[in-house]
C-alpha cells in the first residue's frame, strides 16, 4: 500500500479548474483501491491536441466465476473534473487480449452508462470503479492469450466454457485479498518486470488465470508455441465475432426502443397537460356563455320596458315645464323655486361677465346689473336657509 502525498497531489492538480473537489475524489478512490496509483502524463486527443492530465493507473479486483482477477485499467481525469466525465481504458498486459463487448472497444476504451449519464453533482470516481468491477465481473474485458504464451505449466488444463459446470484453476485455491498487491518483480499492472521470474498470464503469484479466450473447448489441449491456426481457433473467433455483433445490435435496438418509449411518454405527458388546459378553457367558456345569456335576457327585458314607456309617453299631452316637478308641501315648493331662481342668477352673472369681456356692455352697466343680481341672490340664499331649517334639513 503506497502512502498518499496530499501536497504532491495538490501540486499535480494546480492547473485544474476545481482542484479541491478533484483531489478529494482521487484520494477517496486511492484509499479504497490500493492497486491504483496517480501521475500526470500527456494525453493525446482524437484531433491531435495534447494536454497534461492526471490519471489513475493500476489494477482493480474483479470477481469472475468465483475467482478474483486483477484487471489493469487507466482513468484519465479532465481538467474540468468533475464537470466532465473521465476517459477510461483497459490496459492489457502482453499476456492478455482485449475482449470487445458493449463496454470495451478494440482500443480498450471503456463505455458505461454511468459515464454517458455522468452527473457532476453525485457522480465520483469511487462509484465509477465499483461499477467497472461489477460490470467486468459479468463481461470480462480481457482474456488470456493461452497458446501464444511462452510459459507452460505441465499441470495446466484449459478452463471450460461458460456452459460447463466445472472449472479447475491451475493453482491451488487460496483466500485472496480483495485488492491487488503487486509482489516482487511485478509492476502496478501485475505484469512481470524485465528480468524478473514469476508465473505467466500477467498475474501475481497465486492468482487464477484471466478468463479464457471466447469459444475455448473443454477437454482439448491446444498446441502451444506452434503458431498453427486450427479449426477450433477459427470457430472460436467466429462465435466471438457473431456474439459481439448480436450483442451490439440488440443493445442498439434496446436503446432505440427506450428512446422511442421516452419520446412517447413525453408526448403523452404533453397531451395530458393539453387536455387539462382544454378542459379549463371549455369550463371558462361555458361560464361566460351562461353569463352572456343572462345579460341578453336582462337587456331584452329592459328594452321591452323602454318600449312600453315610450308608448305611454306618446299618449300623454304636452307637459308644462313649470308643472313637471311637483312638491308635497308649500314649504318644499318655496324652497324649490328659490333654488331655481338662485341658479338662474348664477347663470346671468356668468353671461354678464362674458358680455363685458367681449365689449357688448360697458363697465358701468355691468356693475349696476351685478349689484342688483348680487343683492337678489343674497336674499334667495337666506330664504333657502330658513326653508331648510323649517323643513328639518341639514344646513
Distances in Å between the alpha carbon of 110 and those of 46, 249, 294?
Answer: 16, 18, 73
pLDDT (tens digit, 9 = 90+) per residue, 120-168? 888 899 999 999 999 998 889 998 876 544 444 433 333 433 333 333 3
- Distance between CA atoms of 341 and 380, rounded to whole angstroms? 8
- Distance between CA atoms of 58 and 189, rounded to whole angstroms? 5
Q: What pLDDT, on the 0 to 100 scale, is given for residue 228?
A: 66
Q: What is the mean pLDDT of residues 195-201?
A: 36
Q: Which residue has the higher pLDDT, 392 or 323?
A: 392
Q: For residues 111 and 15, is the Cβ–Cβ distance under 8 A?
A: no
Q: What is the mean pLDDT of residues 224-238?
A: 69
Residue 325 in this model has a pLDDT that exceeds 80 = no
Per cent of the chain over pLDDT 90 is 41
Residue 240 in this model has a pLDDT that exceeds 80 = yes
pLDDT (tens digit, 9 = 90+) per residue, 11-36? 889 899 999 999 999 999 999 999 99
Per cent of the chain over pLDDT 70 is 75
Q: How confident is the model at residue 295 (pLDDT cuts 50, 70, 90)?
A: very high
In this structure, what C-alpha cell is assigned to residue 265?
411518454
Residue 187 in this model has a pLDDT that exceeds 50 = no
Q: How confident is the model at residue 275 (pLDDT cuts 50, 70, 90)?
A: very high
In this structure, what C-alpha cell is assigned to residue 38?
496517480
For the chain, domain boundaries: 6-143, 236-281, 326-391
The phi-psi region of residue 206 (left if phi > 0; otherwise alpha if psi is between -120 and 50; otherwise beta) is: left
Residue 53 in this model has a pLDDT that exceeds 90 = yes
Q: Say which residues have a Cβ less than 8 Å from residue 158's Cβ, sequence separation at least 6.
A: 146, 212, 216, 217, 218, 220, 221, 222
Q: How confident is the model at residue 41 (pLDDT cuts 50, 70, 90)?
A: very high
Q: Which residue has the higher pLDDT, 195 or 280?
A: 280
The lowest-confidence range among 138-142, 225-229, 231-235, 380-384 is 225-229
227: exposed, middle or buried (Cβ count in 10 Å: 0-12, 13-18, 19+): exposed
Selection from 67-71, 207-211, 313-317 with the highest mean pLDDT:
67-71
Q: Say which residues have a Cβ less than 8 Å from residue 369's Cβ, sequence separation at least 6.
A: 352
Q: How confident is the model at residue 60 (pLDDT cuts 50, 70, 90)?
A: very high
Q: How many CB atoms within 10 Å of residue 131?
A: 14
Fold (topology level) of 6-143: Ubiquitin Conjugating Enzyme (3.10.110)
Q: What pLDDT, on the 0 to 100 scale, is given for residue 8?
A: 86
Q: How many CB atoms within 10 Å of residue 41?
A: 11
Q: Say which residues have a Cβ less than 8 Å from residue 335's Cβ, sequence separation at least 6.
A: 384, 387, 388, 391
- Distance between CA atoms of 364 and 347, rounded to whole angstroms? 20
Q: What is the mean pLDDT of residues 181-201?
A: 37
What's the mean pLDDT when you consider all of the chain?
A: 79
Spatial strand order of the sheet with 87-90 comes to 36-44, 50-64, 67-77, 87-90
Q: What pLDDT, on the 0 to 100 scale, is given for residue 383?
A: 92
Backbone angles phi, psi at 130, to 5 degrees: -65, -40
Helical spans, DSSP H, in 33-103: none
Q: For residues 70 and 33, is the Cβ–Cβ distance under 8 A?
A: no
In this structure, what C-alpha cell is assigned to residue 59?
489494477
Q: What pLDDT, on the 0 to 100 scale, is given for residue 196?
A: 37
Q: For residues 35 and 180, is the Cβ–Cβ distance under 8 A?
A: yes
| Secondary structure percentages of the chain, helix, strand, coil, to 5 | 45, 15, 40
The lowest-confidence range among 64-73, 97-106, 192-201 is 192-201
pTM of model > 0.75 = no
Q: What is the mean pLDDT of residues 323-328?
A: 74
* Residue from 51, 4, 53, 3 nearest 24 by CA: 4
Q: What pLDDT, on the 0 to 100 scale, is given for residue 146?
A: 65
Amino acid at each position: 500500500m503506497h502512502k498518499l502525498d496530499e501536497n504532491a497531489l495538490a501540486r499535480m492538480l494546480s492547473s485544474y479548474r476545481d482542484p479541491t473537489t478533484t483531489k478529494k475524489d482521487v484520494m477517496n478512490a486511492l484509499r479504497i483501491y490500493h492497486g491504483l496509483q496517480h501521475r500526470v502524463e500527456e494525453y493525446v486527443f482524437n484531433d491531435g491536441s495534447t494536454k497534461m492530465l492526471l490519471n489513475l493507473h493500476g489494477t482493480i479486483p474483479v470477481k469472475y466465476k468465483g475467482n478474483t482477477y486483477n484487471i489493469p485499467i487507466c482513468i484519465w481525469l479532465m481538467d474540468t473534473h468533475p464537470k466532465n466525465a473521465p476517459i477510461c481504458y483497459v490496459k492489457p498486459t502482453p499476456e492478455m487480449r482485449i475482449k470487445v463487448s458493449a463496454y470495451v472497444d478494440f482500443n480498450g476504451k471503456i463505455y458505461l452508462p454511468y459515464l454517458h449519464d455522468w452527473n457532476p453533482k453525485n457522480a465520483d470516481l469511487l462509484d465509477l470503479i465499483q461499477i467497472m468491477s461489477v460490470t467486468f465481473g459479468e463481461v470480462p474485458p480481457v482474456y488470456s492469450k493461452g497458446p501464444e504464451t511462452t510459459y507452460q505449466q505441465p499441470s495446466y488444463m484449459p478452463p471450460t466454457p461458460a456452459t460447463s459446470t466445472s472449472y479447475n484453476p491451475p493453482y491451488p485455491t487460496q483466500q485472496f485479498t480483495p485488492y491487488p498487491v503487486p509482489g516482487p518483480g511485478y509492476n502496478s499492472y501485475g505484469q512481470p518486470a524485465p528480468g524478473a521470474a514469476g508465473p505467466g498470464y500477467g498475474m501475481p503469484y497465486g492468482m487464477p488465470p484471466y478468463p479464457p479466450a471466447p469459444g475455448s473447448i473443454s477437454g482439448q489441449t491446444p498446441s502451444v508455441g506452434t503458431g498453427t491456426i486450427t479449426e477450433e481457433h477459427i470457430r472460436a473467433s467466429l462465435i466471438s465475432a457473431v456474439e459481439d455483433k448480436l450483442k451490439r445490435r440488440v443493445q442498439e435496438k434496446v436503446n432505440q426502443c427506450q428512446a422511442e418509449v421516452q419520446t412517447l411518454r413525453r408526448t403523452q405527458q404533453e397531451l395530458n397537460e393539453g387536455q387539462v388546459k382544454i378542459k379549463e378553457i371549455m369550463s371558462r367558456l361555458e361560464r361566460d356563455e351562461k353569463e352572456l345569456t343572462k345579460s341578453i335576457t336582462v337587456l331584452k327585458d329592459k328594452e321591452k320596458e323602454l318600449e312600453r314607456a315610450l308608448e305611454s309617453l306618446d299618449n300623454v299631452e304636452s307637459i308644462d315645464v313649470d308643472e313637471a316637478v311637483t312638491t308635497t308641501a308649500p314649504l318644499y315648493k318655496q324652497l324649490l323655486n328659490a333654488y331655481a331662481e338662485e341658479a338662474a342668477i348664477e347663470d346671468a352673472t356668468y353671461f354678464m361677465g362674458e358680455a363685458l369681456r367681449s365689449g357688448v356692455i360697458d363697465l358701468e352697466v355691468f356693475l349696476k346689473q351685478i349689484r342688483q343680481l348680487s343683492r337678489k341672490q343674497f336674499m334667495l340664499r337666506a330664504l333657502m336657509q330658513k326653508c331648510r331649517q323649517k323643513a328639518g334639513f341639514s344646513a
